[in-house]
Structures are given as structure tokens and as C-alpha cells.
Structure 1
Amino acid sequence: MIRTGAQYLESIRDGREVYVNGERVKDVPSHPMFKPLVDIRARIYDMQWDAKTRDVMTFTQDGEVNGIGNKLPITQQDWWDKRRATDCVLQDVGGVVTRVGDEAVGEMWSLFDGQDVLNEVDPRFSENIRNHIDKVLHTDPFHVSANTDPKGDRSKPPQEQDPDMLLHVVKETDAGIVVRGAKFETAAAYANQAFTKPTIANWGDSAYSDYAVGFICDLGSPGIKFICRTGFAGQKPIEDYPVSNRFDEVDALVIFDDVLIPWENVLFYRHTRAAMFIRATLHRYSAFAFVQRNLMFADMLIGAALFNVRQTGLDRQQAVQEKLSRLAVYREGINAHLTAAVTLAERSPGGLLMPNQSLLYAGRVLACSQLHEIMHVARELCGGQICVTPDAAAFAHPDTKPWLDKFYTVNEDWVADDRRKLLAFARDILNSDYAGHRLTFQLFAQSPPFAHLAAVYRNFDWDGPLELVKKSAGLSDRVLGTATRTAGDSAISRWFDPSMNRAAAE
């Protein structure tokens, strides 16, 4: 039931209310700030049909062809297939795109694992989750994720400030719930649906809250408005900013102005415990897709830096080789964590196969916490010319072209035009407004560093080191019991068996 790119384009021409740069967008697919990413998403759909890529992008089950990214992970091979499909996409489009669906659908699998918790709230919600996972597989929508609210005053409970600051339910009807508030979502303006869930609010001791709600939202629903940040595409010449113009994923403040969510789309509601559970396990699967993007970006940094030092012969110097090695170690560190997370994958509470949680989350910490440092190493290797090189128009103007050809040509292999293209590419991924935006975007898309470390704390096997020291130091069993209880005292462990996270898949 895979879609074509043309079917996707038509699906987002649904009259949605989208604003960007102070204007109402008449046609999202053709607008210059949305078109580059819309075209990439359409290309991903067409890759599922393309004879050259369809075997990598799809699988067949019961005679039906479906996308690999939407497949529930049951076996280790499923994860190798997903990784290969994502690599295929990123290689085909020639850059990094984050919000294209394969990462967001993983959050639905976390809900699948949490059915026992949600059954305590209402058994209908578990059925809704299973139905929507099946729907994503068989209808192939562009599925994104709605996460962060406008922050408001987080020292106060939601109801003690502007009640609409956090998304909440304002009314129940026979048809469903009516919600009001706002969410920040990347790619929402050109996606079909979003898994919309709560930010962890200051619940206090409340067992129930109208702000503890999660649902699937049809992004073409009446009452939804998209107020987008101004994009980078089309703002500067593509010759000077080749990455900014092709890979900017536009974020939106999505306004829910009394939007009806049918009951069949409600995945959990009111129970703060359910909301906390979902937030604690949200990236159990999707973190893999996010970290894989960091791996691709590391390759882009290495390629730009290595080309730059080789063209001038600096790669023969030991100091330069050491910096290149730092880039390689960073890259291989990410690669090792992803590979090990699949190799040592674990059976989830819902019977799925999840990447080894401790290794996956540790890999995310590595990839995100060192990214800014690695970017600066690449910046050093590219040198100061990325900030002083004239633009492409100067290389083309008859009065300045001869001079730039003279001073930017290194040898017969590296002529001025290739050097200009390389320096423009390096500037765009390291120094441009877009580069700064993407670096900050990690805090939004991957969640903030404290959440990364909290995930490592919840999933690392603390018992092994404790047992080792107990035996080596000759400690009694009493201290091991106390230490284990202290280490395991996390929010998730109160209703989720931590040993499940350590159980290797059979």
C-alpha cells in the first residue's frame, strides 16, 4: 500500500492554514521555502517504486508491499534493513533530513510496548494504538511528531497560568475530545498526521489532568493553524548555500483552536502516570534514527575537511592527521554504538525488538555532546577561507573572474570553480545561519542533554559493577541490596520492570 510522490503532494493540498514570513501560503508543495523538503519527501515515496531502490525501501507481507521504515521491528534483520533504507535515502538526496517519518513512527512502537499501563486507564486506548500502527503500515502517511509546547512558567502547574499555554482537553463529546493550545512541530506544515503527546508538566501529586493527553492528529483538521519560522531556502543563492537551500526542514508553531480529535485517535488521556510512562520511553526506538543522522553528518564533515587539506597537501602533516583522526574517532564511535545496539538488541515488553537501550542512549550522548567540538575541528581543517571567500557571482563576473581563477586554482586537479564549491559547502555546514540552526536543533529534535543522561541512568545495568565491587571488596549481601534499590529508584521503574531492559532477545 505504498504511495507515490504525486499522491503525497496531492494529500497536503487540503486547504490547510499555513503562514510563513508574514504571508498565508496558497500552495504548500510549490512554496519556495517548503518545496525543497516536500520534493525530498516525494522522492522518498518514489524510491519505494524505483527499480533501483525498491528492494531496499520496501518489504512484502501477505502479498502487500509496504515501507521498511513503518515495519514493526521483530527481528535483528529488521533493524539492519531499516538502517540500510535510511542510508539509501540520505545517499540518494545527498544530505541529512531528519523529520521524514521513519524516526517518528518509532514513538508509536513505544506506545505499543506500554499497552499494559494504558489498559489501566482505558482498554480502548490499546486498541487504538494497534489500529494506528496498522494504519501507518498500510496507508503510508507522512507521519511526524508533536512534542514541545510553548513553555510558559514551568514553576507553576498548567492551570495556574494561561490555561492554553500547554495543549489540553477543553471538552468531551460523543465524537471525541476537543483540544486547545499549541505545539512546536518540525515538518508539520507538509505532513499528513502527527503523534501529539504532552510535555512533562508540573503535575504535582495529581493523578489526573486534562493536560495529560496523547493522540493522532490529522494535520488537515479544521481549527489547526501553522505559523512557521522563516526558512533558509530561497533567501540566498543556492550556489553559495547549497545545503541551506536544499535541506532546511521548516518548523511550525501548530495552533489547536478547539480541534476535534475523534475517540479512535485518542491514545491516552487524563492519567498523569500514563503520560509520564510515555515520555520516559518515548525515544526507545526513534533515537536510533536520530543518531544515524549524526553518523551521516559526521561523514559530511570528514569529506569536506579531508578534501580541503588534500588539495593543498596539508594532509601529510602529523598535526593535520591527528585532527582528521579525531573526526574519524567521533564517526566510528557513533557507528560502533549503532552497530552494537542492533547486535545486542533486546526484547521489549510488547514483544518487539528494541536496540540495546544502554548502548543506544550512550551513543546518543556521544553523538550530541561532542558535535559542536567536532564541528570546530572540521572548521579548523577547512581554515579561514570559508569565511572570506567571495560569492559565486564574483567568480562569474568578467571583471573579477580572471583574478579569482588565478588565486583559487591550486593545480590542474583543483581549479577555482571546484575550490569555490567546496568552500561554499563547508561554510554552509559549519558557519552559516543554517549550520547554527541545525546545531541548536539537536536540543529540540533529540531532546536536551539532561534527558539524554537520564535515559542512560534508567537503562544502564548498574548491577554488574555493584556485584563486581561487592565480590572484590568482600562486602556483605546487605549493601548490594541497598545499592540496587537506590540505583533503580527511577520514575519508570515504579511500574516497569527494569530487568526487561536487560533481557537479551532470544
Structure 2
Amino acid sequence: MAMIRTGNQYRDSIRDGRRVWINGERVKDVTTHPMFKPIVDIRARIYDMAHEAKYRDIMTYEEDGERFAIGLKLPYTQQDWHDKRRATDTILEDVRGIVTRVGDETVGEMWSLYDGQDVLKEVDPRFSENIARHISLVTKNDPFHVSANTDPKGDRSKRPQDQDPDMLLHVVKETDAGIVVRGAKYETAAAYANQAFAKPTIANWGDDKLSEYAVGFICDLSSPNLRFIARTGFAGRAPIEDYPLANRFDEIDVLVIYDDVLIPWENVLFYQHTRAAAFIRATLHRYSAFAFVQRNLKLADLMIGAALWNVKQTGLEKQPAVQEKLATLACYREGINAHLTAAIATAERSPAGLLMPNQSLLMTGRVLACSQLHEMIHLARELCGGQICVTPDAACFRDPEAGKWLSKYYTLNDEWQSEDRRKLLAFARDLLNSDYAGHRLTFQLFAQSPPFAHLAAVYRNFDWSEPLRFTKEAAGLSDQVYGRQKIAAE
């Protein structure tokens, strides 16, 4: 029986001579570099989980005698979404933390394009065929697939043509073999992934029908004309005992330079047609938002856990003011859970026949999860107390002289000795207060789009007709007024 690839096969696939820089250093091997290795190992772990008897039926499904990854499966039923949700939860439980850019969230963007095949056929029937073929290849070949979305952009008061044209990724030449593209994209995890779905970020194309910037394609990340310039990683900056999350779960963001990269025609998903570009921008998170918001749910669990263990340690959990704050965190958590659960329960059929989560519930759930996240983080900080910013490092606790004093002042009782107290405070600091924690909060604006885009998605997907109907009946408005306004709303 054929199986999806292993962790070592994944590691071998990214040892391809790609040109990667971090901290001013050319990286020889991303699988062994100290800032990349921890997250590469987690992605390899996800591949290996699919081969273990304990996880195989959770992580994979069987079809025609072969096994495929649940996360990459096209969703046709509610059970498909329940299976995806369970697989993601299982991964996060196994690695004991939260990873976002591992493929299950970015492949959903391809499904959105699958829904737009009629739009693509208007441009060139080949493009529609390309997307169907690539979705099939993703399922069969099990690559680490990421998203190439945000450009450097430059001066946004000017059109791309009125400044350095490379500020936005664009086509510079057509050949018999394909298109040649130039520019740059910020892509999380690209330095250690296999392929990227690149697409434009322009939201307003004006009256343009054709543009060299309106291009979407699959890019093989082993291309020799790519360069990967990474931001500084968090892993290795400080001991893992003091920063247990930053050292294991940093998903490194990269500026990918496309220096006249050839994209074969079979990898081009749309080109020049601004309507196709506008469609993918409007529907980009139709499916992938579910995976992102699910991570917010698990983050809420970690914040509740860190806060609750802290107040239990110090005997404050019975105070009404503390319980009120914990209940607020619980409401936030269950609000996200309710939106995800309801989005599956009332899922909708997509234009291509897929089953997509109820769009109004999913998009409003994303607004809830993201807009309140910073407030919930600060609430968890309050519950954890000021010691998360003043506690000495693990080395001091191990020091023969200093450690005696720290043991005295950090031991709470027979149940809570100083080492457990130190571990919990270090975890809470890294979750809520560290450079890594601040990065993860800001990352929401990059990975899930800014708040105005969230609300725009809600506006596009909310059913305005029912409030109009009910108010029309309650106010006794005429049928003619209702008819005109209903059409306008639609």
C-alpha cells in the first residue's frame, strides 16, 4: 500500500541548494541550521505522525489503496471538516504548542480558486485545467505548500507603474515555456517549504481589464532564481528553559526574491485577467480562515491554562474578581468554538460543489477571535501577575548560591515547588510577554489580513435580506420598497 511521505523524505526535499540568508549568514542547510531546525523538525513530525498506528487514521484517509493527508483533502461533507479539525487538534496536542503555516491552512486558498474555474475559463481554458490538476498533485504528492501573498508594495500613493515596478510581483516576459516573473513576496515558511501559491495583493484594479500584475501561479521553491532573506529567528536567542515556545515554534517569515523566475505554463493559474485576481482576493480565506481561527481557539486554551494554573498556585481562584476574569476568557474561547462548530453545522455548497464553512459565521468568528485577542492576552497577563516580567532565568535557579534563595522564595507549598513555579512563569512569559509573543500577535495582521478586510468579508457574506424582511414586516413597509431594497442589498 502506498503511503504519504515521511519526515526524512520531507527534509531531503528541501536540501536542494536553495539560497537562504538569516542574520547576514548564508544558510548551508535549513534542516540543521539552529534557527530553522526546530520548526523543520515539527513539520517532519507531522509527516511522521501519518505513519504511526496511533495517528494514522486521524491524519490520513484511504482511497484506491493509497493513503493521503486529511488536511489536503477537498471538503465535500461535514465529516470532512470534522476530520480536518480533529487532525489539526491532534497535531497541536502532539507537538504541545501552536504551529500555523504547515500546509492545511494555505491549501484552502487553492480550493477558493477551484471555485472560480468559470472565471478562469473566460481567460483561457488551460488555466482552469491547471488548477484542477494542481489540486490533484497536492493531494497525491503531499508537498509542504505555502502562500505567497504580501508584496513590499513601495509607495502606495502611486501606481506600481509609476515607481519601481518590481515592488509588486509582475510578469516581465512570455516565452514558449511559460512566463518570467520578477519582484518579491513575504512568505512565512517558504525557506523550508516545497511550493508556494503566489497571487497579487492589489484590491482595487480600477477600470483595468488586463495587467501584468494580475498573475497567480504555483512556484517550485527549489527554483535557482529564487533568494530567501529571512527575518531573525527566535530559536537559540536564549535557553529553551526560559523561552520554551520561542525556541520550538518560531515559523520564520521570509522575503522571497523572484529574480526572473520562469513559471511553466502548466503552473500558471491566471494571468493578466484582473477579474480573476479580484475574485481570488475576495474569496482567499473562504476555507483557510477555518484553520487560522482554529489556532486562535487553541491559543485561548493556552491563555486560560496559564492563567488558571497561576491563580491556583497562589490560591486566588476562589476570589470573585479572579473568577470574573477567567469567565471572560472562557466566553472568548467558547465564542470562537461556537462559530467554528456552527460554521460546519450550517456549511454551504460552493460554486464548484465543495462544502465550505458557513461564510457569515466563519467570518464573524474570525472578527471575534482577532479583534479581542489583544484584550484577552492582557487579561491573561493580569491573572498571571507581574512575576512573569521579573522572574530570573533558569541558570540562576541552578546556581549553587543564588538557587538557594530562589528555591526559598519561589516554593509556595509542598505541592508547588520552585522548579514548577519557574517553569509555569517562563511559559506564561513566552506565551504573553516575550518578543515571540508580540510577534505572534502582530502576525495576525499578516496571516489573517487586517481588521478592515475581516469586516469587509463579513459585509460580503452576511445575509442582509432577513433583517430587511423582518423590519419591513414590523414597520409595515410596502412590498415595493422592500423589493427595491432587497435587490440593492443583494
Partner of 2:392: 390
1:339 aligns with 341
Question: Counterpart in 2 of 1:101?
Answer: 103
**Which residue of structure 1 lines up, in the alignment, with residue 193 of structure 2?**
191
The answer as to whether partners of 1:341 and 1:357 remain within 8 angstroms in 2 is yes
Cα RMSD for the two superposed structures: 0.8
Measure, in 2, the Cα distance between the counterparts of 1:203 and 1:311: 57
- Select the residue among 259, 266, 269 that pairs with 2:268: 266
After superposition, the C-alpha distances for 1:234-287 in whole angstroms (9 at most, x for unaligned) are: 011111000000000000000000000000000000011110001100100000
Quick check: 1:158–1:202 contact (8 Å CA) kept in 2? no
Residue among 179, 182, 189 paired with 1:180: 182
Cα distance in 2 for partners of 1:349, 1:414 equals 56
Question: Which residue is equivalent to 2:369?
Answer: 367
Residue among 58, 72, 75 paired with 1:73? 75
TM-score by length of 1: 0.96
Amino acid at match of 2:424: L
Does structure 2 retain, via aligned residues, the 8 Å contact 1:382–1:426?
yes
Structure 1 runs (4+) greater than 4 angstroms displaced: none
**Per-residue displacement from partner, 1:355-396 (whole Å, max 9, x unpaired)?**
000000000000000000000000000000001111111100
Amino acid at match of 1:458: R
Does 2:49 align with 1:47?
yes
Please give the alpha-carbon distance, in whole angstroms, between the structure 2 residues aligned to 1:246 and 1:481: 57
The structural deviation recorded for 1:476 is 1.1
Q: Distance in 1 between matches of 2:435 and 2:403?
A: 27
Cα shift readout 1:317-366 (whole Å, capped 9, x = no counterpart): 00000000011000000000000000000000000000000000000000
Distance 2:120 2:421 in 1: 57
Letter in 2 for 1:57: M
CA contact (8 A) 1:146 1:197 kept: yes
Q: Which of residues 440, 443, 452 in structure 2 aligns to 1:441? A: 443
- Offset of residue 154 of structure 1: 1.7
Whichever residue aligns with residue 220 of structure 1, its letter is: S
Equivalent residue number for residue 500 of structure 1: none
User: SS where residue 316 of structure 1 aligns?
Assistant: coil
CA contact (8 A) 2:203 2:281 kept: no
In the alignment, structure 2 segments of 5+ residues that lack a partner are: none
- Secondary structure of the corresponding residue to residue 301 of structure 1: helix
How far apart, in 2, do the equivalents of 1:388 and 1:207 lie? 58
Measured against aligned partners, the alpha-carbon deviations of 1:81-116 in whole angstroms (never above 9, x if no partner) come to: 000000000000000100000000101000110000
- Structure 2 counterpart of 1:502: none
Q: How do 1:418-497 and structure 2 match up within 5 A?
A: 418-488=420-490
- 1:44-66 residue CA offsets vs partner (Å, 9 max, x unmatched): 00000011111100000111100
Amino acid at match of 1:216: I
Residue 482 of structure 1 deviates from its aligned partner by 3.0
TM-score by length of 2: 0.99
Shift of 1:80: 0.2
Q: CA deviation at 1:312?
A: 1.1
Distance 2:484 2:48 in 1: 57
Paired letter, 2:199: K
Q: Does 1:399 align with 2:401?
A: yes
Q: Report SS of the residue matched to 1:235.
A: coil
Aligned residues: 488
Counterpart selection for 1:84 from 74, 83, 86: 86
Alignment of 1:7-22 (within 5 A): 7-22=9-24
- CA deviation vs aligned residue, 1:445-496 (integer Å, no higher than 9, x gap): 01100000000000000000000011111101222233223333xxxxxxxx
Give the whole-Å Cα distance in 1 for the aligned partners of 2:238 and 2:469: 59
Q: What is the alpha-carbon distance in structure 2 between the residues aligned to residue 403 and residue 424 of structure 1? A: 18
> How much does 1:202 deviate?
4.8
- The answer (yes or no) to whether the contact 1:158–1:201 under 8 Å persists in 2 is no
Alpha-carbon distance in 2 for matches of 1:232, 1:151: 26
**CA contact 1:154–1:201 (8 Å) conserved in 2:** no
- CA offset at residue 201 of structure 1? 5.2
Alpha-carbon displacement from aligned partner over 1:15-53 (angstroms, at most 9, x marks no partner): 000000001000110001100100000000000001111
Using a 3 Å threshold, how does the CA distance of structure 1 residues 201 and 295 change in structure 2: closer, same or farther?
closer
